[in-house]
């Protein structure tokens, strides 16, 4: 049936190596919700940290809906995060908090941390890929694992576009979630102990 050697080891492209080897889920994941809603943003950041196969569909519903495989869930943020952790266990999202009320207090900090990790992951990937392109300059046209030179350029452009999208999401998170909390604190409304002093991002 031909001479196809389907089981040979292939060199993995630098562009496809993730900082965390655990972030490799290819399970179909869908998120539906209002992109201007803080709950939707929170779940969006959490899923970006978990999977490379996320599909986001904007809706006018203030309550986000997550579909992983054939299962769908909608509810509180804590409930949805636990569901995501069960279905996509690595890397974990939920970290036990011992203090009374700590889980609620840490909510914004967790969201900021997840979003920050997503930005770092995409940025480090682009840096590694760029360094690899420079290293290969003049010696070969492209990485065989990436296909032709033209295909690699298209993939690089797509990854750069995704990095820009994540950076915009970061700015939106700050504008819609973090800054309003800081402004509330400055006006003298009670927020309790500073979240960013109590929890390390």
Q: Which domains does the chain have, with CATH numbers?
A: 14-93+101-198 (3.40.30.10)
**pLDDT of amino acid 108:** 64
At residue 135 the predicted structure's pLDDT band, cuts being 50, 70 and 90, is confident
Query: How far apart are alpha carbons 22 and 117 in whole angstroms?
Result: 14
Vertex 174, ends 170 and 179: CA angle to 5°?
Answer: 175
pLDDT above 50 (res 22): no
- Mean per-residue pLDDT over the chain, rounded: 71
**pLDDT of amino acid 152:** 80
- Cross-sheet strand order for the sheet of 71-73: 54-58, 29-33, 65-68, 71-73
State the pTM of this model. 0.43
Query: How far apart are alpha carbons 106 and 142 in whole angstroms?
Result: 45
Q: Up-side HSE of residue 122: CA atoms within 13 Å toward CB?
A: 25
Average pLDDT over residues 11-33: 60
**pLDDT of amino acid 38:** 79
């Amino acid at each position: 049936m031909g001479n196809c050697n389907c089981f040979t080891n292939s060199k993995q492209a630098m562009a496809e190596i993730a900082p965390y080897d655990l972030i490799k889920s290819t399970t179909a994941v869908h998120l539906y919700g209002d992109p201007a809603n803080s709950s939707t943003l929170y779940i969006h950041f959490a899923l970006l940290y978990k999977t490379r196969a996320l599909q986001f569909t904007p809706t006018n519903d203030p309550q986000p809906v997550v579909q992983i495989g054939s299962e769908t869930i909608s509810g509180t943020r804590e409930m949805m995060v636990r569901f995501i952790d069960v279905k996509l266990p690595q890397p974990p999202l939920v970290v036990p908090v011992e203090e009374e009320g700590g889980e609620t207090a840490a909510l914004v900090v967790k969201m900021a941390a997840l979003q920050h990790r997503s930005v770092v992951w995409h940025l480090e990937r682009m840096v590694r890929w760029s360094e690899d392109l420079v290293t290969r300059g003049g010696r070969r046209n492209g990485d065989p694992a990436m296909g032709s030179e033209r295909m690699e350029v298209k993939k690089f452009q797509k990854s750069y576009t995704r990095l820009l999208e994540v950076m915009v999401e970061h700015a939106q998170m700050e504008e819609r979630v973090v800054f309003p909390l800081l402004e509330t604190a400055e006006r003298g409304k009670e927020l309790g102990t500073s979240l960013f002093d109590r929890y390390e991002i």
